[in-house]
Structure 1
Amino acid sequence: MADEMQNGQEFLESDDFRRNAAIIITEMLNVSNNTPENTTELMDEILHSIFFLGTINKPAYTPEQILGDKFAELKALYPNPFDCYFSQLPRRSPFSCVLDMIVRLRGHENEEDIKATLQELILYLREDAQSEQKCLFSSVICISQADQGTVKHYGVSMSTSNKDARGIMVAVSCCHEWDEYVAGAVMTYFPNRKKNKRKDKTEIDGTIKLPRSVMCRAFSLLNGEEMLPCKSCATLFSLETTENQVWPYGNCAEPECLSNLFKNEAQVKDKVNLQKPESWTAKDKEIAKKMVLTSLKNSLKKVKFNQGMVLYTPQQA
């Protein structure tokens, strides 16, 4: 996976970031124009997220370099991302915004259409890419339901292109975006892939156990095949798997997907159980969040983003 290459060096030698950013923005404008719902907020959010990742990329890209002759038009329509991308943090990585846009276009129930539309976009993004690695798109989608026949909820893996960007977005998601149960499970192991500990060296544990009725399935957006949960997700959410692969905690599609399920299905969230309640007290949550915020500060310092940790609020219609 692209997220696993060392420091993203292969990607940094290519111009795929600018190319893919321009394609995604153009495609999302087209989808926005064909979607009955108002999508101003999503367009605003994806522009800010891409511009932020562009400014911390190596080499860095400005909105004008990304947009070319569309710069003036889009700045007039969505001024806030242009003013805030270098001073405020995005809440989500770009392909999460793409997913939301496609779900609005196709409808929550049309799982196959949603997957096919995303796969078509990814095929386009990879077609003339200079690198084999993924850039600004997700490789996995996850679909969850409270039970058979209920509303489907979606999530995608992090669409970041290197370790630093991924660490920033996972940390922001844990502290500000994901449901508390999902965030707690990820924060158990983030940022060091080992269980975080109290000062007395005892482990904290916010991992959860899903209700038996919950359905959670993942699919590759590169070849369409269904995928077993990785060992990391199995540990975090008590998902059954025979996989031994351990991907970085929070990188997969399951956290976003389950977070969306819990946020929208209160009756499901009420049935979620902590795997070790005695190891996830209010104090433990505070300890874990402090560790994540420290990691976020360090990651921002590393990419020379020195503007603090204010989160961006997308413009609404």
Structure 2
Amino acid sequence: MKIVLITPQGPTSRTGNKVAAVRWARLLRGLGHRVRVASDYDGNPADLMVAVHAWRSARAIERFKAAWPDRPAVLQLSGTDIYHYIETDPVPTLRAMALADRLVALNALAWRVVPKRLRARLSVIYQSATPPAAARRPTPRATLVAVIGHLRDVKDPLRAARAARLLPAESRVCIEQVGRAYTPRWARRARAEMAANPRYVWRGDVPAAEVRRLLARCHAMVISSLSEGGANVVSEAAVAGVPILASRIDGNVGLLGADYPGYFPVGDTRALARLLRRLEDEPRFVRQLARAVARRAPLFRPAREAAAWRRLLTGLQ
């Protein structure tokens, strides 16, 4: 099939939506399809549209379905779609969802916010990650905890740094954060945190290879988001065998499972500090996290993601 893949413009080429779109384009080409990636629909014919982000891609979906009403559209629901825009600007979001022939969610609990009349169209396709070529080698110099993600409000990006401030003086926990500051205000806040907090360093936006190296040498990763559609960094950490400390939100629970032992309440700095202390002091807790991550890792295999897309597209033909 000839597929047009619509992904909205972002402030960096490493936004979650853009990274997912690039991976899906590669995956769909591997399944034998011709794929053109665009930020908007230009009217050129295609057998199928795959659109990322309902709210941002709503007009592109409308134009495609107006031009080719009998040709299918697949819509990937982002975190801001199902945990923000569906409430704050529902008309274009719900219109895009209603026009789409299939909906794709990235976590297993997303169905809870999809209108009942549309749930039959919904498939869950976990974002995959390639396992690292070499074994992890956590640094012996400290208990290194990674925070991976752009600095913006929804990520609650300084929660781990603030939690590290609450640890006792003898603690060897340090927080290393990578990701672009979406606003000058967030850059100022990260620099101020570095100046005041000797346990914290922010390295800014780094290439994907640097993210993989950070995962290889860290002892754990924190994802403290207020909401997520299904963060690919969770997949990357899981396949790398990295223990994860995660805010208890549907986007994380829908990836890691309800019984995962490493959750903390959203925004609860003290609860996260207690988990960081356990990470440092309780080898049994670390093993428990590692086993739980290992159980979830098969969900994020590239072959599984490819097979899910193959099934979805076969069902549209």
TM-score by length of 2: 0.30
Structure with greater helix percent: 1
TM-score by length of 1: 0.30
Higher RCO (CA 8 Å, separation ≥ 6 residues): 1
